[in-house]
Structure 1
Amino acid sequence: MATQAELVGDLKALRKGRGLFRADVADRVGHTLRELCGVTERDDPGEVRYRIGRRVARLAADLPDDLRVAVLAAFGMLPAARHPLYQDRVGWLADHIDREPRTARRRIDEGIHQLAQLACTPLRAGVHPRSGWHTAETRVIAMLDRAVPEVLEHHRVVAAQEVTELDLPVPPGRDVAVAYGGTLRAGKLTLATPLRAGEAHEFALRTRLPVRPRQLVHVPGRRCDFLELRVRFDRGRQPRQVSRLPGDAAPVPVDGAGEVRLTFADLSRGFTYGARWD
């Protein structure tokens, strides 16, 4: 994991001009910030903006309210402060807190430093040096509208050190195949080429289900930044109710296409996330 000072430098460079909304954002993101957010050279500006914005917003949620507002304003992430120049966003913040612009700048600097501290703590970094990699994003869809139900899993992982294979606990008896991204043998996904520290890799798995399930769950065994679950039901077998896991009293609506979609962020290891229906 890169140092706090390097991350502070990358964040201060990004706040210039239109901040996160500059057209050349993909060219303006430093290596340390790329590593933190799981950005790769293949990502287009929209993807880069989405990944960085999501990560910064999550970290900023743990800042004091005044520093959170200062940081989000600095990057143009607050609609009211989405001005084309950094100095204009500083001016907006100064008016917002009823202070001089130099005080607003100090608030922004303090917020960026604390943001970097949060990002670089072992707990927030979430990767033990020997664990090798973490999941930046997992998207799962259960297709129950076909003769043999299937589940597709798309994973995006980021290496913390050189990685040649990924441990994937596959339940015994499951019909699991790799759609792309490696070779699966005995619960390990062997990569075509090794990943270096900071590099991202995507792969997908397909599982054929022997029976129609009553739930779709995911239990992360290591750090997972984002999870999206989708279930596509047979239009002739719509469930009476879909519930979110962990428990939520409000039912999850099924849309006009017979689908439900759930998202989770900053997942806790060993906890169950998903949906149950009847």
Structure 2
Amino acid sequence: MDREGLLSDLKALHHGRGLRRAGVRGWLGPALLEALGATPQHSDAELRVALARLLALHTQALPRDLRELFRTAVGLDVDLPRLEDRMERAAEGLDRSVRVVRRRLREAEALVADAILHQRSSANEWWDAQGWQWLGLDASLVLRDDAVMSLRHEVLALTAQPKYASLMFTIPGILPGDEEPTFEALLGFTILQVERTGPTGWRLGLELPRDLGPGEAVDTVIRIRVPRASALQPYVVLAPLRETPHARVEVDFGDSFPGTSYWVLDGVLPTDLGPVGTMPVPRDAKPAVGRVTCDFTPRVGLAYGIAWDQLEPKPA
């Protein structure tokens, strides 16, 4: 892997929608494929998320302005259809002309290339080799005074798997000191352990009914209850880390929040999700009344779901 080839591959990432383009193997250059340790068996979805991980790591040490510029140009932090649009966004943020920003982008590319060349990581760092695949993801959230989420997964064992597994996820908005959520396994799993991994993160230690052989699948349902719905950030999303052919998100608003609007999040980067009050309400937002269901064909590393602007309870 030579530096000029790597620079050429990095420049090519900026075309069109950047990392969000379809057909990853068709536009990802040979030097970056080598840096990832990619094989013909890796899918486009796996390549996309592995590339995002590699670039996120190797831009960490860049000066802040160059880091933000590069991430904007490749579409890591901004979802705009053309490079020209992303360059204008970067120019506004840096208070520079587009011409200057383009020149600085070449500098950022050189620094990223050098970081990749001189900080070679194990190829295994970019790939998830645990041998599971989700055949479907289904999240159903009921919002009242409390919030009750049901997570349904059909889990396929790609290789022989022991009956013990773990599930990691976040509940944005729940902070230390808030009343703890409760977890209940309704189908397929027994919960052995609940561990809080961070301010908003949890890991569940799970036991399947038996060891699974290659090709075996099991349906699972886990229910999570948050005592105060108002403690949640105003969205529910699925952001699969493994390839899955289908995802569904449902939110039941009931008739308790007449001042609330909702909209669909279809293939956004998780970094685009902001805290309450920071996400703009789109013009096509609809009244959040009753049950809203959305189906998606997700890509690994992107987020899919439903957002709302506020939870204003009906006056007593």
User: What TM-score do you get using the length of structure 2 for normalisation?
Assistant: 0.44
User: What TM-score do you get using the length of structure 1 for normalisation?
Assistant: 0.50
